[in-house]
Amino acid sequence: MKLDPSRQRISYVLGSESMSLEGGKRIKDLKYINRDPKKIIVLENDPSRLPLQPENGIFVPTFEGNVEDTEIFKLIPFLECKKMMVLWELF
């Protein structure tokens, strides 16, 4: 199930192929994205992947495949109130 299947709220999604390599670890660095960082929100389950711009992160628990896990749906009211750019999918 996707959070925004019609792309009305989430305008752009990037995967792990868009991450930088720093110290042997993949990180997300928003300076490489040609967007205003004030308009970027990253949904992330690992804070160590967003060390350079943690203020842009919403850190959520890792999804383990449990159909009873609805944690991310708690963000829907927040996401619906703004037009945002969510950059990286949770894996």
Report strand pairing: 20-22 vs 25-27.
antiparallel
In this prediction, residue 54 carries a pLDDT of 95
In this prediction, residue 35 carries a pLDDT of 83
The pLDDT tens digits along the chain (91 residues) read: 466 777 776 777 777 777 889 999 999 988 888 888 888 888 899 999 999 999 999 999 988 888 898 888 888 888 777 654 454 444 4
Nearest Cα residue to 88 out of 7, 37, 16 = 16
Classify domain 16-86 at the CATH class level: alpha beta
In this prediction, residue 90 carries a pLDDT of 46
Contact 60, 42 (CB under 8 A): no
Q: Which letter, b or e, does each residue of 15-46 get, where b requires 16 or more Cβ atoms within 10 Å of its Cβ?
A: eeeebeeeeeeebbebeebeeeeeebbbbbee
